[in-house]
Amino acid sequence: MSKHLPSVTSPPWSATAKRLVALGTVTAAFLFARQVDAAAWTTIIVAVVLSYLLSPVVTFFEHHLGLLHSYELRRTVAVLLTWVVVLGTFGLGVGLIVPATVTQLRQFANDLPALVSDTEQDLQHLLDREITVGSYTVVPWDELQKAFTAPDNGQEANLTTTLQNAVLSLANPALGLVGGAVSLMINLFFVLTMLFYLMRDGPLFVGYLVSVVPESYQGDVRRLLHELGLVWNAYLRGQLILSLAVACAVYLTTLILGLPQPLLLGLLAGFLEFIPNLGPALSQIPALLFALTVDSSTIPSLDAGLTYAIVVSLSYILIQNLEAIFLVPRILGHSLDLHPFVVLVAVLIGASVAGVLGVVLAAPSVATLRVLLRYLRGKLLDEETFPAVPEYAHPPRGLVYRLIRYWLRKRFPVRSEQTPEALPVPRRAATPSDEADLSDWLG
């Protein structure tokens, strides 16, 4: 073999050739991405989101492992310590919450027939009246009973039997439980494996991403990463705090109001908090059904009925407004300031594209798209690419409001936005010595 390397003899590409190659590459990548199974994308996205959530913990441990001089060893030990902390916290939470949840689920299953029977009696009492419209007279309860008539044998099925059969029919998907469990274990293995490498080498990926773009655009990429970090930090980590706060508030409120299964109602409200705009409204439905059918166990004057349901609904609305006034501006900041209509459209599109994961990530995805489009608009029209965000307006209302606001400002100061001048402009590719700086964009 020759000791001399062959020389490159091709001429430089023209601007048209570069555009065509770039367009062809992007098109090929898009067509390839469409062929990838949705389950594979879900696994990848879950691993990336989890690694992003846990990156501050890894960075914290890494900064406190100064005795380990090797960067790779220090980062690996930090990842392992993070897993120990996270899995220990998760196991502690499961040990404390799951037994109580199972107990309340069993109690709910035992009370379900009585609740259905009481609901049927209340509906019958309400709808078993004649309604006359012109010459036509109808009894809504009779029409409802006819709607549940079995067409095959002609035997009428009352509302109680129909609802119980509907509940029992939910057990049919359990036939595929074994296959689903195997698929879940495989996906979990891939998620944990990818999660380990993303948590360990995440800052390197950021450095590679910055270094592959032209040097004149590296500052723009770092600023985009900063802006996107504000969005995803606000949503992912902030939403966890909001969900925990709402779950505790709903649990205490339903416990005070004497509703059945307060722990389940609190957990449900916390999970549904991840669905923007719709989640808080949906979390009220089970509580309202309980209030319409079951008397309060703590307040003797609150009997099952419309009055009890109104009290419960007002309590939920109060929790939501307190959250929106005091917590959301301090935790989410301004980066997710999206119009509710836009969020609802994003939720519908996300549900159709990626199911539950699309619903959960709809709001930050739209905010990410807004950041990118704002940058493109600035470049196309020679405008400011990252305009300043106006200060959030707090409507001052009353002495109590100002006292609570003062206490929350001391405990949870409003997160300030960093200025573009504070962001460093890179001049070279990232090295392990730069990891502490690059990890700030991940954390």
Tens digits of per-residue pLDDT, 414-424? 554 444 444 44
**What is the distance between the alpha carbons of residues 221 and 424, in angstroms, rounded to a whole number?**
11
Q: Read off the pLDDT of residues 16-35 as tens digits, 9 standing for 90 and up.
A: 998 899 899 999 999 998 88
Look at residue 89 and tell me whether its pLDDT is greater than 90. no
Question: Containing H/E element for 136?
Answer: strand 136-138
Q: Greater confidence, 416 or 382?
A: 382
Judged on CB neighbours under 10 Å (0-12, 13-18, 19+), 198 is buried
Structure-model confidence comparison of residues 244 and 151, the more confident one: 244
Residue 269 and residue 284: Cα distance in Å, rounded? Answer: 8
Q: Is the pLDDT of residue 312 over 90?
A: yes
Tens of pLDDT, residue by residue over 174-183, are 445 556 667 7
Which pLDDT score is estimated for 435?
44
Residue type, 257: L
Pairwise pLDDT comparison (155 vs 15), residue with the higher score: 15
- pLDDT for 147: 65
CB–CB of 231/335 below 8 Å? Answer: yes
Cα(364)–Cα(368) distance, integer angstroms = 6
pLDDT of residue 407: 60
- Contact indicator for 243, 270 with CB cutoff of 8 Å: yes
Nearest to 193 by CA among 50, 363, 351, 388: 50
Extract the tokens encoding 267. 């957990």
Instruction: Using the predicted structure, report yes or no on whether residue 402 has a pLDDT greater than 70.
Output: no
Q: Residue 210 to residues 8, 30, 112: CA-CA distances in angstroms?
A: 27, 22, 57
pLDDT, average across residues 263-271: 90
Element (H, E) at 131: strand 131-133
The residues facing 201 across adjacent strands are none
| The model scores a pTM over 0.75 | no
| pLDDT for the residue 80 | 92
Tokens of 87: 């899995």
pLDDT of 1 over the 80 cut: no
Residues in Cβ contact with 428 at an 8 Å cutoff, skipping those fewer than 6 apart: 211
- Bin 197: left if φ > 0, else alpha if -120 < ψ < 50, else beta: alpha
Report, as an integer, the average pLDDT of 248-255. Answer: 94
Give the largest Cα separation in the chain, rounded.
104
In this model, does residue 377 exceed pLDDT 60? yes
